[in-house]
Structure 1
Amino acid sequence: MMLSINIQNYLDNLTFLSLFIGMLAYWTSVSFTSLKSGAKVGFISVCIANLAIFTNLGSRWLENGYFPLSNLYESLLFFTWGITAITVIIERNISISLIGAVTSPLSLFVIGFATLSLPEGMQKAAPLVPALKSNWLMMHVSIMMLSYSTLITGSLLSILFLVLTLGKNVSLQGSSLGGTNLQQVDTRNMSMAVLEGTIPNKTKLGSSDSLSLLETLDNLSYRIIGLGFPLLTTGIIAGAVWANEAWGAYWSWDPKETWALITWFVFAAYLHARITKSWQGKRPAILASIGFVVVWICYLGVNFLGKGLHSYGWIA
């Protein structure tokens, strides 16, 4: 047991250090365009953090015999693993250091909260309560956590879009349906231009072989949220089936269930606006930013109240 605790502490420290180095490297890459190695160091650091989290969760799974999503500490690890995995996938296909620059601080904060703020007793694995002794634990909780990671990342990119276009009247002319191909482009110069406010107050960005930074952020946000929404839908349905098996009712209007439904409606409105009204740019980004707050309330806010059927395994 002592060996296991030591391994967990080592992996936690490695994850925190890797994310910290990655954050500094990404920020350096964004601030100093001449230092091209910054983004590479950031990417490698995030990969190491992702692997460390995977190893941590895998070791807990092998040691305890059940999927490691039974308490707040494990869920925060899985949540961060999802965010870092999405960051790695994006970075492998598109060279935009701004994405790692905004996801790495979030990942670092979550890991810091999980390892430094949570009591040691909440970080230890404990025997499952009867309601969690089900095969639905892996399916429902893992899918919900992946949906949270995906939706948070997509919403974070929308917030970044709003920050970069603050005070600018930007009109995008790409495809709201995500029909434009995302290619490997170097957007460092464009990102610095936006950060320094050197783009005109009214900018029209049309489709081209090399997408602009703003088009790419808008399109990426839409695609990532478009992936997270069906995950959320599947997770809610799986949860309803599990609830009927465990509590005898598919839906009990538990606070967690209610906020999951609110989250679903917010992102359904976002996707509806993108697909049917061909909204792009600031208006859907505002909707996604609202979703960013709603997901956090659904994920953590409700549980910290200590009320409802979903409070076990979260609040000591």
Structure 2
Amino acid sequence: MAVLVLMMMAATVIEKISGTPAAFRLVYHNPLFIGLWSVAAISVIISIWSNRRSIPLFTKALHLSCILILVGAMVTFLFGKKGNVHLYLDEPESEWNCTDGQTRVFPFVLTLKDFHVEYYRGSMAPSDYESRLTVDGEPVTVSMNNILRRDGYRLYQTSFDRDMKGSLLTVSYDPWGVGITYAGYLLLLLSMIGFFFQKDTAFKAVLRRVAAASAVTALFVVSEAGVSAKTVVDTPKVLPEEVASQFGDLYVYYNDRIAPVQTMARDYCLKVYGKSHWKDYTAEQVFTGWLFYYDWWRVVPYKLKAKDKGTPAEGEKEFLVRSVASGDALRLFPIADSAGVVSWYGCNDTLPAEVLDNYELWVFIRKVMDVVNESVRAEDWDEVSRLLGRIKAYQEKTAMAVLPSADKVRAEKFYNRISRPMVPFMASVTLGMILFVLSGIWISKGRKTPKGLQHVLAVISGLLFIYLTAVLGLRWYVSGHAPFAGSYSVMMLMAWMSALFMTIVYRKFPLAQPLGFLLAGFTMLMASMASANPQITHLMPVLQSPLLSIHVLAMMISYTLFGLIALNGVMGLVVPAGEPKDRLRDISLVILYPALFLLTFGTFLGAVWANISWGSYWQWDPKETWALVTILVYLSALHGTYRSARAFHLFCIFAFLSVLITYFGVNVILGGMHSYA
């Protein structure tokens, strides 16, 4: 098994350096790799048969489900076919191109009747791609996450011609492999659920030992006060805060959606200065300062590392500021065409025919910002306010049908104020580190935590949970989809789970509090770093699946639990040998079982989703491969024999590296289809 893990690790590196074909040729389709999986499967079968009387029912089923999944994968590899078919409008097609270079014949005839792109309301961001076909005269629709199944064939929407008169569908013919593999997935799910209800298992034995023991923590509250000297610099000119706020209330077409200008101002300010404000000025004051007082603001230094000066990183910040100063970034003016479709334009954009035929509207769009600028120069704030009100009235009159509701706008503006968790992150990390150190001292001395202190910690974790729930809930409401995609959302979700975990289980596992605060703090730190880039966007069509939420939730809970195990392992290294180390090992084992089962469930649910969306349940994408590596690594933690509790803790610490690579390594270095996740 160790050789398989090493080969899969190597394959992801080979793919990055030499490309996907090289990785498949050298590893994934290598007879040695396939043979090792076969040997592993046979070994499991022999082990189950040899111990058939002593192994509980659901444990047997758990191992047999893995065999069934491997058999299904082998059937797919040997007999499955994959390719594509390019359909053209009103042209019947009965042949498709297989990846082996052969042209094969369908047992039916396809005819493309129409291709259509669905867009998010009030946006030009695609929400779905639909091919409307007939199959032997029967009308059907193929779209993202809505596949065509016929006579053992599965057809998936893949691409389309720019003239909208052609559509490319992926073709998968695997009548047996998918069914066998899905049967394995179902058996795996049922056996994992049944496992926790079995009697006399290793998990139940460890659980009884943990329940009988009492791990302890202590709370020590400290506060730090720091004095920093402000550097006096020349202050650039800005609009009065209330006028800038009114400008922030305007609508703008940004990130392929309609948002308040405040959102755009916050994102740009974060990108340029690293904060959602500059000194005592709000993001709206900074943003309008660039627009109306560019000569004052162009000398304000950006937030840059020394090595980034003179590089594209500095050029990007300069471009953002200039795009606002010129007005090019501000698509403030909605225009409805003859069909009622609303598009958004800036005052410098080429305007459509509907405007060219309406001189008053043309003058308004072209000149109103010039008039606002003149009033700003004259510091006639009443006139500026009146003009901004006129722009807002025009937006509401022209685009009322597609504008977000007033409640959603208020929610987004409130979200913008609270979404960057710098203070909660610093408080959580500080508190977690203090508790972590003191917990080791108290455990080694066998002292217990006073109930009152535990309750105080529970109140703090509860407040953190409420804050994170508010942030994620607002993000969900504003974006219109669950916050399960993107680095910021995933990190905040892990922090939310950590806060929930320590709030619920602190009575039974007091160590959950120091470990939970540490994990929540560090994940909020990662979220703060991720929030330096624009945030809320529409989901890609392929991500609009109900399986997304369940898949991501299962994966993130497992990652959170693995993080707690790693931190518990660090604690296990510093406490004295004997009962304290053994007790912490048992706590890790209790967490390890559900963590591993959730990771396995999430991985194979992702395989089902991939089969629905991309036509293949397993493609050896780097994220898939490293998820499988992580499963095998932590399986060895359950099945391995360790000389001491210290050795187990060391293994769990190093095992967490596979989790870090699965998420951060793939996203940042290895790439692949999942690099957005």
Is TM > 0.5 for Structure 1 vs Structure 2?
A: yes
Query: Does the CA-based 8 Å contact 2:627-2:662 persist in structure 1?
Result: yes
Deviation for aligned residue 1:161 = 0.5
Match of 2:661 in 1: 297
Match of 2:525 in 1: 112
Q: How does 1:92-103 map to 2 (within 5 A)?
A: 92-96=507-511, 99-103=512-516
Match of 1:184 in 2: none
- Structure 2: 5+ residue stretches without partners: 1-259, 263-409
1:151 alignment partner, one of 531, 540, 562: 562
RMSD: 2.8
Higher RCO, 1 or 2 (CA under 8 Å, sep at least 6)?
Answer: 1
Match of 1:56 in 2: 471
Q: How does 1:72-83 map to 2 (within 5 A)?
A: 72-83=487-498
Residues 247 and 219 of structure 1, relative CA distance in 2, 3 Å threshold: same
Residues 283 and 59 of structure 1, relative CA distance in 2, 3 Å threshold: same
Match of 1:10 in 2: 418
Deviation for aligned residue 1:225 = 1.0
Does the alignment pair 1:140 with 2:507? Answer: no
Does the alignment pair 1:68 with 2:483? Answer: yes
Aligned pairs, how many? Answer: 262
Query: Does the CA-based 8 Å contact 1:136-1:238 persist in structure 2?
Result: yes
Does the alignment pair 1:258 with 2:666? Answer: no
Match of 1:41 in 2: 456
Residues 155 and 21 of structure 1, relative CA distance in 2, 3 Å threshold: closer
Match of 1:270 in 2: 637
Match of 1:235 in 2: 602
Report the AA paired with residue 159 of structure 1: V
Post-superposition Cα deviations, 1:25-64, rounded to whole Å, max 9, x if no partner, equal 6368657989956554333222211221122112222222
Report the AA paired with residue 435 of structure 2: Y
**Structure with higher helix content:** 1
Query: Does the CA-based 8 Å contact 2:551-2:602 persist in structure 1?
Result: yes
Report the AA paired with residue 234 of structure 1: F
1: CA distance between counterparts of 2:506 and 2:565?
14
Query: Does the CA-based 8 Å contact 1:229-1:268 persist in structure 2?
Result: yes
**SS class of match (1:283):** helix
Match of 1:182 in 2: none
Match of 1:196 in 2: none
Residues 22 and 50 of structure 1, relative CA distance in 2, 3 Å threshold: farther
**Structure with higher strand content:** 2
Does the alignment pair 1:121 with 2:533? Answer: yes
**SS class of match (2:506):** helix
Deviation for aligned residue 1:17 = 5.9
Residues 222 and 307 of structure 1, relative CA distance in 2, 3 Å threshold: same
Post-superposition Cα deviations, 1:157-183, rounded to whole Å, max 9, x if no partner, equal 122202324xxxx3xxxxxxxxxxxxx
Match of 2:616 in 1: 249
Query: Does the CA-based 8 Å contact 2:623-2:662 persist in structure 1?
Result: yes
**SS class of match (1:305):** helix
Match of 2:501 in 1: 86
Deviation for aligned residue 1:133 = 1.1
2: CA distance between counterparts of 1:73 and 1:47?
21
Residues 94 and 264 of structure 1, relative CA distance in 2, 3 Å threshold: closer
Deviation for aligned residue 1:69 = 0.9
Does the alignment pair 1:130 with 2:541? Answer: yes
Query: Does the CA-based 8 Å contact 2:585-2:648 persist in structure 1?
Result: no
Query: Does the CA-based 8 Å contact 1:15-1:48 persist in structure 2?
Result: no
Bigger mean CA offset, 100-109 vs 219-228: 100-109
2: CA distance between counterparts of 1:95 and 1:144?
24
1:217 alignment partner, one of 584, 600, 612: 584
Deviation for aligned residue 1:109 = 2.3
2: CA distance between counterparts of 1:78 and 1:283?
31
2: CA distance between counterparts of 1:242 and 1:248?
9
| TM-score for both structures, normalised by structure 2 | 0.36
Deviation for aligned residue 1:21 = 6.4
1: CA distance between counterparts of 2:549 and 2:586?
31
| TM-score for both structures, normalised by structure 1 | 0.73
Query: Does the CA-based 8 Å contact 1:263-1:294 persist in structure 2?
Result: yes
- Structure 1: 5+ residue stretches without partners: 171-202, 206-212
State the percentage of identical aligned residues: 27
